[in-house]
Amino acid sequence: MTIHHSHPRLRAFTLVELLVVIAIIGTLVGLLLPAVQAAREAARRCGCLNNTTQLGLALHNHEFHTGHFPAGVINPDGPIKNEAVGQHVSWTVQVLPYMEQNSLFRMFDQQAGAYAEVNDKLRRANIAVLRCPSSPGPRGNNRDGNNAIAWSSYAGCHNSIEAPIDVGNDGMLFLNSRIRFDDILDGSSNTLLLSEHLSEDEPNQEGSPVEFGWPSGTRATLRNTGRMIEQPSMRRNTGLAVEEPAEKGPLFVGGFGAYHPGVAVSGMGDGSTRALSDDIDRDILHALGSRAGGELPGNTDW
């Protein structure tokens, strides 16, 4: 009698089949990742839009209660230098009560100035509405991020072209300004109030960027529409040379820019929020920065 042994047939992937499956999964992940990143950036931009709207409302509520917009910076004299010397109380400090920061506003000694020792702890207070979700991590004069000067992603518009922060600037927020709606001859919907900005400050001797924080009415919270600033990693290769100032001295202020690809979220004088493109026409950009430039209606469409 012959005994037959039956062995179950083993089923398994071949090496070629396994490699094909891995290649398909890798392709699907590669296709999905950009969509996930785009969705995350869209969410961050919505958060930035909300921040800009809240800051615009705070500025308008200040105007409603006092009859004028806050001064871009409070200081006995000008022009304002990008140095930690002076009173330099920013517009951000002045609108704290309209940002649900009444306690911080009461504790801040404006007369002593933005850099006074009495205000040192307050300068390190991070205010969520002042930080764009797309901006990098903590940045300040100290390497320890938990102890760094708290900075702002947003700046008010002090002038239509590159110029020192001083009295007589043609923007909305400048040295000891008291702009009313009656002063916005170009129309509040055609005049830029605030927008995002990038940090371009040179590192100090410790290797950290020099930031004076949101209480400082220097280029930390004021910028102009002289030009838009792009992140180096996002600059498009157009074949054109990027225009750079010859020298970034203490009176240099700089333009707006954002960590979002291609656009900066901006607040207008009428309270609306719009996107300011990196490649906006230079003449239109200057017109938006001026409150009374006399541009014809329709010439500021962007």
| Angle at the Cα of 193 from the Cα atoms of 211 and 300, rounded to 5 degrees | 125
pTM (predicted TM-score): 0.81
Average pLDDT across the chain, whole number: 82
Q: Which two tokens mark 277? A: 């493109």
Give every CB contact of residue 46 below 8 A, 6+ residues apart in sequence. none
Q: What span, in angstroms and rounded, lies between the C-alpha atoms of 3 and 6?
A: 10
> Residues of the chain with pLDDT > 70: what percent?
78
Residue 130's alpha-carbon distances to 2, 49, 220, in angstroms, are: 87, 11, 12
Q: What span, in angstroms and rounded, lies between the C-alpha atoms of 158 and 144?
A: 32
| Res 209 pLDDT > 90 | no
Residue pLDDT, tens place only, 246-289: 557 889 999 999 888 878 889 999 999 988 888 888 999 999 99
